[in-house]
Structure 1
């Protein structure tokens, strides 16, 4: 009789465990887009990015000559007329504080 009870508990445990893992695999929660502020693509504009930009999904920094570069990427964002797109914004700075936008891209699906 005891082996039958042990097998029953084992079977119940396996069924419960597979139900929990299936529920996690089937879950289709949507990702809320990040809302990006309107930025002008102009060398005369100066933005203090650290003060207001949402945290990006990816950030790459670098240098080209005397310019500091930053590339912000967002997997799902709303920016200007682009809604729910993967967005990449590129900035340059001469002093590391005041940044100007020089490229803006979205990834077409």
Structure 2
């Protein structure tokens, strides 16, 4: 079965632009309340802490996204293999002619379309 590969995750990149953006954000937070600038500065994490948190969050989000995609592929395959052979043949024919993205939601759409035509 043809499908579009899920792009490889390159990992979080710690760049000078991101670091300067964190510093700008912290500066604007302090300047927004000048009377409390010292207290705000004491509560703000260091740039290294912010980058470490973003890196771990990016890894977690990527892992959850991959689980989500895999779950829906399992649902789509179960739906496809649960079809009778004549409907399955229609789905295969349409899937081969399909010009859109080849992901689980498109396969589910074709399976639902085949079921609806049968009714």
Q: Normalized against structure 2, the TM-score is what?
A: 0.29
Q: Normalized against structure 1, the TM-score is what?
A: 0.31
The structure in which a higher percent of residues are helix is 2
